[in-house]
Amino acid sequence: MSVFSHPEFDNHEQLSFFCDEETGLKAIIAIHNTNRGPALGGCRMWNYASDEEALRDVLRLSKGMTYKSALANLDLGGGKSVIIGDPRKHKSEDLLAAMGRFLERTGNQYIAAEDSGTSVPDLQVMNRFTDNVAGVTERTGIDGLPCNGDPSPATAYGTFIGLKTAVQYKLDRKDLSGLKVAIQGVGNVGYRLAEHLHAAGAELFVTDIHEEQVQRAVTELGATAVSQNEILSLDVDVIAPCALGAVLNDDSIPLIKAKVVAGASNNQLASQRHDLMLRERGILYAPDYVLNAGGIIDVFYERVGHEHTKVRAHVETIADTLTEIFGRADVQDRPTGEIANELAEERFMK
């Protein structure tokens, strides 16, 4: 498995591979950049088709966290970890404990948080063996209600704020009533985003690999269930990718009828050139790592002193960042993702 010549390797500071024969744990931790502070990023557990796919994911995700923290004006760097395995079949307390011990070996360079396939209780198991975890402290959430540490509500709220900003910019609509939104993935974040949109009067179309989550959205939010194959090609106003990455690619982009892409998933672009491809088709792309920064903002404040009103106000600055990106992109006639990357690099490169 090539590392230094890997197409997703971006001068990462550290890449660690861990294996525990007794529990079956196979994990990778990637630290991309620590110029602004310790690397913070989710611990994802996924049934990857291959080790190569897991490596590609952790390299891309860790880099994205560096850019996300920088654009969110946080004193954090970027990192990520992945556990290879089906979280519904292979996860065990012993496996999570082993992961906690491995996290401790990284020193204070990487801090893990919740991600796809992991939960607050999972991180709490790891926390028994290391302090290098975040999002595990009970506190008041951004909605003023008790929160067990799960950053998903903040991620979903930030995504909602960003989606509204993109809709106003591209479609000149402040009112979301009747807005047609296709949500790809209604897990922890996607479902909460759907709740915000439903409350605002939007018409929802949803899909997910887990049928029970789709049915929940249909029953509770009046959403329309659609197949995974058709979700991106629906005749809607907005597409909100909220599952795994690389869904915006050579095959999917020509099928998109929506004028706005604004969702919570990381690394939505299969490659950087797809940023330009979206712009050339007149589709406004809200860069994913700008939109979904609410979770890391929430976790950051947990470590420095949490006050939910400050967290909410900070999350809402996502709207200002996006407006600046959209404006620069139009003035310079360049893709929005390219502009976002430049802004982030100005903040974390020495």
pLDDT in tens, 243-279: 988 899 999 999 999 999 999 998 899 999 999 999 9
Q: Where in the chain is the domain with CATH 3.40.50.720?
A: 146-349
What's domain 146-349's superfamily in CATH? NAD(P)-binding Rossmann-like Domain (3.40.50.720)
| Secondary structure element (H or E) that encloses residue 163, with its range | helix 152-171
Catalogue the long-range contacts made by 21-26 (C-beta closer than 8 Å, 24 or more residues apart): 22/94, 22/98, 23/92, 23/94, 23/95, 23/97, 23/98, 24/85, 24/90, 24/95, 25/83, 25/85, 25/95, 25/98, 25/99, 25/102, 26/51, 26/83, 26/84, 26/85
How does strand 77-84 pair with strand 39-46? parallel
Are residues 244 and 254 in contact, defined by beta-carbon separation less than 8 angstroms? Answer: no
What span, in angstroms and rounded, lies between the C-alpha atoms of 238 and 270? 19
Helix or strand or coil: residue 18? Answer: strand
Active site residues: 80
Binding site feature residues: 185-190
Residue 139's pLDDT is what? 85
Domain 3-68+75-136 falls in which CATH fold? Rossmann fold (3.40.50)
* Residue pLDDT, tens place only, 20-75: 999 999 999 999 999 999 999 999 999 999 999 999 999 999 999 999 999 999 99
Residues of the chain with CATH 3.40.50.10860: 3-68+75-136
Can you give the pLDDT at residue 350? 64
- For the residues of 286-337, what is the DSSP string, one character each? --HHHHTTHHHHHHHHHHH---HHHHHHHHHTHHHHHHHHHHHHHHHT--HH
- By percentage, how much of the chain surpasses pLDDT 70? 99
Annotated binding site for NAD(+): 185-190
Low-confidence ranges of the chain (pLDDT < 70): 1, 350
